[in-house]
Amino acid sequence: MNSFKGRIIINPEDKNTTLSQHSFREIFYELYPRLYSNSLKLVRDEFVAEEIVEDAMLALWERRDKIGEIQDIKSYLYIVVRNGALAHLRKHRKESSQDITGIDIEDHDIYETYIIEEELHARLFGALKELPEKCREVFLLSCIYRMPYKEIGKELNISVNTVKSQRSRAIEILRGKLGNSSVILFFLNNLC
Amino acid sequence: MKTSNSKNKFGIADLIYKSVTEQLRPEEREALDLWLQKSENRLLYRELLSKEKFQRSMSVYESVNLDRMYTLFQKRLMKRGRVKKRAVRSMIYKYAAVFAIGLLATGYYLWNRGSEVFKGEESGVEIVNTIQPGYEKATLVLADGSEINLEKSKDSFVMTNAVVEVENKDNLLVYKNKEGKQNQEIRTPEYNTLHVPVGGIYSVVLPDGSTVYLNSASSLKFPEYFAGGERVVELEGEGYFDIVKNPSKPFTVKTRVRNIKVLGTRFNVSAYTEDELFSTTLVEGKVILGDEVVLSPGEQAVIPKSTGVAMVQKVETELYTVWKDGKFYFDQEPLDKILTKAGRWYGFECTFADPDLKDRLFTGVAKKTYSLSQLLDMIARTSKINYQIKYHKNENAYEVLITTN
């Protein structure tokens, strides 16, 4: 599974670049989970969250012939999702007097942290999937949750040395992956 | 939201990701440290990497069925009538250096697909977007007939008995004879069979240290240790053998077509029962096919079922062995052969709307971790073909229909 390294930029020189269906599908598969998760955190309703992301994807699809006008597809999709969520919540608030979400997504700073969270978690999730199982557990416990080696050893029933070696192995594997260009970037860079 | 802001938040996520995976460059570390000077950011950093937060995100990501969502999305497009059949327009498809992903072929990209993907449902047939590749799933059958699911017993010892212990690690079975035992004195060796289903790939290190890679839809029968003056295994399907040299104990691969006798060497054997051709490709060393044919490195012996006579030719051995590294590799291969191979991996049968399409030649490399549509898109892109993936509900089987554009 490939993951985005940073932002997707579609040849900003050319405003007339179009997005092929193939590239669109790549983007859909890559970004759907994080956008859905973001949407779900905002509206807290799976069905509504799905619909909001679908709308965002549709908005992108409809602009595919002029994709060059969108500087940064990922930011664009996040913004459309946010707007969709806001619209839903405003409407919903009118219907019921209660604030059902508990968070104020109109607060810009809070929303920013949501995106940082999603981007970080989606990439870490992608990284975990690249790792063999034993490595994966050690990486999760050691690098992400920062548990001490000893505790990890106890939990996984392996020696501290094994923890250390699996940890370095995980990092080595992920370093190797960083050099690989993603399929999507390739297609985006070769659109015209 | 301003661009500078969006750059910032993606930038922060990137820095944190790199700090977790220890990939920060010095100037990036500085930038992160600067950001972490604010106590609220330090708090956020800790929170983002907390078990509670991360697990919540993971469970959401895992809950997403992407194929389903994409199909629903396509259906919605259809309903809205937004997918107009776009005018065919060709564009020169940019070439090679395409990392491993690209088909190393030129061609014109004829774009009018997509709109034809969802024509609706015939009875009991559903059009699907893609098939995800199978992963390494295999079973080991012991002499007493008991079956071990290797997927479930990952990273553990699957079996230990008086003479051998078998470890299952990273899609590799390792047989180790117990030290200090004269096996022959204990009992005659029992036979194990490693079955790799469609869409799998697995390897085994035999007790003599030789390694065998088993391709999709194949099986290998071998003893838990090699007794007496020879090493004999039985192959059904395709395997790549890397055999440890031992002149006093020759190694034999039995197949339905021919037996292959070797000393120490690396070679590939393709002996699928349903295939017209049986073939052995020698990478290194020396093998003897049946009693009649001796192969040298770089040579391939092909035996068609119809004649039963071996023909030897020089080949690019790489072509016949890359499957073990998780890649498909085609060199001027006809489409029907390519799709037979791919079908074994993804689990589908192929039909051609026009029989002439079968003979179209393609060259390229594709990773086996791609979804089927990625592979088919690469092929479709280089010529005027189109495809449809159908799921036959009643038979629980997939069919790929190849049509002209």
What residue ranges do the domains of chain A occupy?
A: 21-123+181-189
Average of pLDDT values for A153-174? 93
Instruction: State whether B172 and B233 are in the same domain.
Output: yes
CA–CA dist A166, A179 (Å, integer): 21
DSSP codes joined into one string, B16-55: HHHHHTT---HHHHHHHHHHHTSHHHHHHHHHHTSHHHHH
Does B98 reach chain A within 8 Å, measured CB to CB? yes
Given a cut of 70, is residue B389 above it in pLDDT?
A: yes
Instruction: State whether B88 and B167 are in the same domain.
Output: no
Render pLDDT for B209-264 as a digit per residue (tens, 0 to 9). Answer: 899 999 888 999 999 888 888 899 999 999 999 999 888 889 999 998 889 999 77
CB B371 within 8 A of CB A28: no
A39-73: b or e for each residue (b if 16 or more CB lie within 10 Å)? bbbbbebeebbbbbbbbbbbbbbebeeebbebebb
Instruction: State whether B161 and B295 are in the same domain.
Output: yes
Looking at residue B121, which CATH number applies to its domain?
3.55.50.30
Instruction: State whether B351 and B378 are in the same domain.
Output: yes
Could you give the 3-state DSSP secondary structure of residue B168?
strand
Model pLDDT, residue B110? 25
Question: Under 8 Å CB-to-CB from B25, ≥6 apart: which residues?
Answer: none
C-beta atoms of B3 and A116 within 8 A: no
**Choice between B323 and A9, residue whose per-residue pLDDT is larger:** B323
Given a cut of 70, is residue B184 above it in pLDDT?
A: no
Question: Under 8 Å CB-to-CB from B52, ≥6 apart: which residues?
Answer: none
**Span of A36-40, B35-39, B292-296 with lowest mean pLDDT:** B292-296
Model pLDDT, residue A186? 34
**Span of A118-132, A136-150, B123-137, B266-280 with lowest mean pLDDT:** B123-137
**Choice between B393 and B53, residue whose per-residue pLDDT is larger:** B53
Residues of B in contact with A133 (CB under 8 A): 154-155
The residue in chain B having the minimum alpha-carbon distance to the alpha carbon of residue A186 is B98
- The half-sphere exposure of B195 on its side-chain side, counting CA atoms within 13 A, is 11
Helix axis angle, B26-36 to B39-48, nearest 10°: 110
Among candidate residues B242, B204, B237, B239, the one with its CA nearest the CA of residue B223: B204
Residue A22 token pair: 């193939």
**Choice between A132 and B76, residue whose per-residue pLDDT is larger:** A132
Average of pLDDT values for B143-154? 74
Instruction: State whether B151 and B206 are in the same domain.
Output: yes
Model pLDDT, residue A156? 92
Among candidate residues A157, A166, A160, A176, the one with its CA nearest the CA of residue A133: A166
Instruction: State whether B27 and B159 are in the same domain.
Output: no
Residues of A in contact with B51 (CB under 8 A): 145
Instruction: State whether B376 and B283 are in the same domain.
Output: no
CB B243 within 8 A of CB B210: yes
Residue B318 is given by DSSP the state H
Of B302, B323, B344, the last residue of a domain is B323
Percent of chain B whose predicted confidence (pLDDT) is above 70: 82
pLDDT band at B336 (very low <50, low <70, confident <90, very high): confident
**Span of A170-174, B145-149, B285-289 with lowest mean pLDDT:** B145-149
Residues of B in contact with A145 (CB under 8 A): 49-51, 54
Question: Under 8 Å CB-to-CB from B26, ≥6 apart: which residues?
Answer: none
How many Cβ pairs closer than 8 A exist between chain A and B?
Answer: 134
Render pLDDT for B14-68 as a digit per residue (tens, 0 to 9). Answer: 999 999 999 999 999 999 999 999 999 999 999 999 999 999 999 999 989 888 8
Render pLDDT for B98-111 as a digit per residue (tens, 0 to 9). Answer: 222 333 322 222 22
Model pLDDT, residue A2? 36
Residue B23 token pair: 């990939």
Given a cut of 70, is residue B119 above it in pLDDT?
A: no
C-beta atoms of B9 and A115 within 8 A: yes
Amino acid found at B337:
K
CB A127 within 8 A of CB A174: yes
B 336-375 residues inside an 8 A Cβ radius of A: 369, 373-374
Q: How far is B251 from chain A (nearest CA, A)?
A: 32
**Choice between A80 and B396, residue whose per-residue pLDDT is larger:** A80
Instruction: State whether B155 and B116 are in the same domain.
Output: no
Of B272, B288, B323, the last residue of a domain is B323
Amino acid found at B325:
D
Average of pLDDT values for B144-149? 77
The residue in chain A having the minimum alpha-carbon distance to the alpha carbon of residue B24 is A175
Does B99 reach chain A within 8 Å, measured CB to CB? yes
- The range of the structural domain enclosing residue B247 comes to 139-323
Paired sense of beta strands B397-404 and B349-352, if any: parallel
Residues of B in contact with A108 (CB under 8 A): 1
CA angle, B23 then B26 then B31, to 5°: 95
CA–CA dist A21, B86 (Å, integer): 11
Residues of A in contact with B7 (CB under 8 A): 7
Q: How far is A144 from chain B (nearest CA, A)?
A: 6
Model pLDDT, residue B175? 85
Residue B7: exposure state from Cβ atoms within 10 A (0-12, 13-18, ≥19)? middle
Residues of A in contact with B98 (CB under 8 A): 186
How many other CB atoms sit within 10 Å of the CB of residue B225? 22
Given a cut of 80, is residue B90 above it in pLDDT?
A: no
The residue in chain B having the minimum alpha-carbon distance to the alpha carbon of residue A82 is B1
C-beta atoms of B44 and A183 within 8 A: no
Looking at residue B287, which CATH number applies to its domain?
2.60.120.1440
**Span of A177-191, B223-237, B304-318, B372-386 with lowest mean pLDDT:** A177-191
Average of pLDDT values for B297-301? 91
Phi, psi of B315 (to 5 degrees): -140, 165
Model pLDDT, residue B393? 79
**Choice between B331 and B111, residue whose per-residue pLDDT is larger:** B331
Residues of A in contact with B2 (CB under 8 A): none
Instruction: State whether B353 and B373 are in the same domain.
Output: yes
pLDDT band at B313 (very low <50, low <70, confident <90, very high): confident
Residues of A in contact with B16 (CB under 8 A): 116, 120
**Out of A1, A32, A58, closest to residue B64 by CB:** A32
Instruction: State whether B172 and B295 are in the same domain.
Output: yes
Instruction: State whether B83 and B118 are in the same domain.
Output: yes
**Out of A28, A79, A134, closest to residue B73 by CB:** A28
A 45-74 residues inside an 8 A Cβ radius of B: 50, 54, 57-58, 61-62, 71-72, 74
Model pLDDT, residue B154? 66
C-beta atoms of A123 and B17 within 8 A: yes
Does B55 reach chain A within 8 Å, measured CB to CB? no
Number of domains in chain B: 3
Among candidate residues B109, B198, B127, the one with its CA nearest the CA of residue B382: B109
Kindly indicate whether the ipTM for this predicted assembly is greater than 0.90, answering yes or no: no
Question: Under 8 Å CB-to-CB from B55, ≥6 apart: which residues?
Answer: none
Given a cut of 70, is residue B94 above it in pLDDT?
A: no
Residues of B in contact with A75 (CB under 8 A): 1, 3, 6, 10
Given a cut of 50, is residue B205 above it in pLDDT?
A: yes
C-beta atoms of B377 and A22 within 8 A: yes
Percent of chain B whose predicted confidence (pLDDT) is above 90: 24
Mutate to test the interface with A, among B5, B64, B168, B389 (most CBs of A within 10 A): B64
Does B311 reach chain A within 8 Å, measured CB to CB? no
**Out of A25, A79, A144, closest to residue B20 by CB:** A144
The residue in chain A having the minimum alpha-carbon distance to the alpha carbon of residue B90 is A192
Given a cut of 60, is residue A129 above it in pLDDT?
A: yes
Average of pLDDT values for B131-148? 72
**Span of A14-18, A56-60, A143-147, B226-230 with lowest mean pLDDT:** A14-18
**Out of A25, A125, A174, closest to residue B58 by CB:** A125
Given a cut of 70, is residue A183 above it in pLDDT?
A: no
pLDDT, chain B, mean: 78
Percent of chain A whose predicted confidence (pLDDT) is above 70: 74
0.80 exceeded by the pTM? no
The residue in chain B having the minimum alpha-carbon distance to the alpha carbon of residue A127 is B21
**Out of A22, A25, A33, closest to residue B64 by CB:** A33
Instruction: State whether B153 and B107 are in the same domain.
Output: no
CA–CA dist A99, A102 (Å, integer): 6
Average of pLDDT values for A85-99? 69
**Choice between A185 and B322, residue whose per-residue pLDDT is larger:** B322
DSSP codes joined into one string, B337-377: HHHHHHHHHHT-EEEESSGGGGG-EEEEEEETTS-HHHHHH
Of B298, B323, B348, the last residue of a domain is B323
Does B135 reach chain A within 8 Å, measured CB to CB? no
CA–CA dist B269, B277 (Å, integer): 11
Mutate to test the interface with A, among B5, B8, B14 (most CBs of A within 10 A): B14
What proportions of chain B, in percent to the nearest 5, are helix, strand and coil? 25, 35, 40
| Candidate ranges A186-190, B122-126, B378-382, B387-391; pick with highest mean pLDDT | B387-391
Model pLDDT, residue B113? 30
**Span of B30-39, B160-169, B394-403 with lowest mean pLDDT:** B160-169
